[in-house]
């Protein structure tokens, strides 16, 4: 039976008012109580303390941490500790950085049994340039709330604050310029992952307020805001194996991780999108993903307005006389400034957000180099303008190579681009795509069976034969280096075989 606010308040009164006991409060684990408990904690924030009694003084790095595993249990058991050890053995885990340790103990050894104080372990530590991330991780399919992970990340980081110099010395890290950053790492198929992906002001107002209070407390002792990362993988069967006594992920597993920004409003995310992070577009990318995911209308309006302003600047400059001495310099600056980076980032993630309102902007941004990313995004919708844009994109396929024999040329187009655009066209219902499908079959690079089946759904077999027969029966020309004749014959043979089989 679900607990109400009064019951939770009664429970809170009974627990010790230190952060270790707060995050170990059983009700914190349940995501259904996250808002109510966040409100209770926020209202009693000043009463909750950090206990440093029994906190390890030094030697946080343990020599026996080599990423090994016990032989006592089956690899089918995918626990949080095992996942952390396997991540440690990856060494590099972008975007979190280089993993330098796991299960870092905060509790002092050799305490008297009657006075022993527990402080927990930090799941993972990663270094990314001048950031040292103290990571609280949750296993895939975990039923623990995001609130518990947040409170753990906060508590461990605050405890490290008591022993900052000794902690950094244990890992031979410089004290100068290094930022300590608490981080939460969850899988999208966990309870905490689903909570993180549904963050918005209305549903999580109290939780976001509490995160803001926790961040301010951390900032007061020189520790950065809590960061959030989500692993987009779903593990199938056995993700782990043992290699040379070490626990590792199986080779087919490739991680896809996004940073999530659970801000109270879209303005904070727009602030991040507006920054110039030089070569680090990851921050812009993740901010933009969060903006479009949690604040759809604000994100759409922001992207459209920002890109239009940039395009106006580019158009204005293009109308100037190129002979002006600083023309090329200003053009290069405009094409490499933060707005240009934003457009590149916007295009790279747009397939995740099939918003009809963005289609006109995307069509306007189309170019041979961008079409491989833009076409799948606009192909989720169908109208004449989109169809014409996709057909035009096919006509602009990048050339991979040219064969030339005494002036007779044949062109081979980039297969990745062609397959992407033809897949988009094959999902359309209009006969406008017939011309592009015919061309694709003559080139013969991409899944001819799929293209022919689509063509047969739009034309009669007689019409298809009528088009390809003259090409197939044309006299051989030793100067013709293309595969058109061979591919036309393939089409005819395939149709004849289908007729015979039926």
At residue 199, the 3 state secondary structure works out as coil
Which residues touch 398 (CB under 8 Å, ≥6 apart)? 368, 369, 413, 414, 417
Task: Average the pLDDT over 174-194 and give the result.
Answer: 91
pLDDT tens sequence across 391-444: 999 988 877 666 665 555 666 777 888 888 999 999 898 999 999 999 888 887
HSE-CB at 238 with a 13 A cutoff on CA atoms is 9
Q: How far apart (Å, rounded) are the C-alpha atoms in residues 162 and 165? A: 9
Task: Average the pLDDT over 66-93 and give the result.
Answer: 84
Closest CA to 309 of 347, 340, 350, 269: 340
Q: Is the pLDDT of residue 277 over 70?
A: no
Q: DSSP per residue over 15-71, as a string?
A: S-SBHHHHHT-GGGG-GGGHHHHHHHHHHTGGG-B---TTB--S--S-TT-SSB--S
pLDDT tens sequence across 146-168: 999 999 999 999 999 999 999 99
Q: How far apart (Å, rounded) are the C-alpha atoms in residues 93 and 193? A: 18
Whole-Å CA distances, 306 to 28, 30, 285, 309:
41, 41, 15, 5
* 262 contacts 215 by C-beta, under 8 angstroms: no
Q: Give the domain ranges of the chain.
A: 5-110+117-263, 265-354, 366-502
Q: Which residues in 360-448 belong to E strands, given as ranges?
A: 399-405, 408-413
Which pLDDT score is estimated for 407? 54
Q: Is the pLDDT of residue 232 over 80?
A: yes
Which pLDDT score is estimated for 138? 94
| pTM value > 0.75 | no
Which residues lie across from 134 on neighbouring strands? 125, 182
Percent of the chain with pLDDT over 70: 90
At residue 409, the 3 state secondary structure works out as strand
Q: How far apart (Å, rounded) are the C-alpha atoms in residues 502 and 497? A: 9
* 60 contacts 174 by C-beta, under 8 angstroms: no
* pLDDT confidence band for 368 (50 / 70 / 90): confident
* 341 contacts 305 by C-beta, under 8 angstroms: no
Q: How far apart (Å, rounded) are the C-alpha atoms in residues 238 and 70? A: 17
Whole-Å CA distances, 164 to 135, 168, 223:
16, 6, 10
The secondary element (H helix, E strand) that includes residue 237 is none
């Amino acid at each position: 039976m679900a607990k109400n606010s009064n019951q939770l308040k009664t429970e809170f009164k009974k627990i010790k008012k230190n952060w270790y006991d707060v995050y170990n409060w059983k009700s914190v684990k349940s995501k259904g109580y996250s808002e109510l408990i966040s409100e209770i904690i926020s209202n009693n924030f000043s009463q909750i303390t950090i206990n440093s009694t029994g906190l390890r003084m030094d030697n946080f790095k343990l020599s026996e941490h080599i990423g090994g595993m016990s032989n006592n249990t089956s690899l089918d058991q995918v626990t949080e500790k095992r996942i952390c050890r396997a991540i440690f053995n990856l060494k590099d885990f972008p975007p979190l950085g280089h993993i330098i340790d796991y299960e870092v103990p905060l509790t002092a050894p050799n305490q008297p049994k009657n006075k022993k104080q527990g402080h927990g372990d930090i799941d993972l530590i990663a270094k990314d340039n001048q950031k040292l991330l103290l990571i609280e991780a949750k296993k895939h399919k975990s039923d623990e709330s995001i609130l518990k992970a947040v409170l753990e990340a906060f508590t461990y980081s605050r405890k490290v604050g008591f022993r900052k110099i000794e902690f950094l010395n244990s890992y031979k890290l410089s004290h100068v310029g290094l930022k300590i950053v608490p981080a939460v790492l969850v899988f999208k198929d966990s309870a905490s992952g689903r909570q993180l992906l549904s963050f918005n002001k209305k549903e999580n107002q109290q939780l976001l307020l509490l995160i803001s209070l926790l961040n301010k407390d951390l900032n007061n002792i020189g520790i950065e805001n809590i960061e959030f990362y989500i692993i987009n993988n779903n593990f199938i069967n056995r993700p782990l194996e043992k290699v040379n006594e070490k626990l590792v992920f199986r080779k087919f597993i490739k991680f896809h991780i996004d940073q999530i920004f659970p801000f109270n409003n879209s303005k904070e995310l727009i602030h991040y999108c507006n920054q110039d992070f030089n070569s680090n577009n990851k921050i812009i990318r993740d901010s933009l993903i969060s903006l479009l995911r949690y604040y759809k209308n604000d994100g759409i309006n922001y992207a459209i307005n920002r890109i239009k302003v940039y395009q106006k600047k580019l158009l204005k400059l293009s109308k100037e006389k190129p002979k002006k001495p600083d023309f090329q310099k200003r053009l290069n600056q405009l094409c490499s400034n933060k707005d240009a980076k934003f457009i590149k980032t916007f295009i790279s993630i747009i397939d995740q957000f099939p918003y009809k309102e963005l289609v006109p902007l995307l069509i306007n941004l189309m170019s041979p180099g961008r079409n491989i990313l833009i076409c799948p995004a606009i192909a989720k919708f169908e109208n004449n303008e989109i169809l014409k844009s996709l057909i035009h994109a096919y006509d602009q396929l990048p050339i991979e190579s040219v064969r030339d024999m005494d002036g007779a040329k044949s062109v081979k187009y980039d297969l990745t681009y062609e397959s992407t655009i033809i897949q988009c066209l094959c999902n359309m219902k209009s006969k406008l795509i017939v011309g592009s499908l015919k061309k694709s079959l003559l080139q013969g690079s991409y899944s001819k069976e799929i293209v022919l089946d689509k063509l047969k759904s739009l034309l009669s077999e007689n019409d298809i034969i009528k088009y390809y027969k003259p090409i197939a029966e044309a006299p051989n020309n030793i100067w013709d280096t293309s595969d058109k004749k061979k591919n036309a014959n393939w089409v005819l043979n395939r149709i004849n075989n289908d007729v015979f089989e039926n």
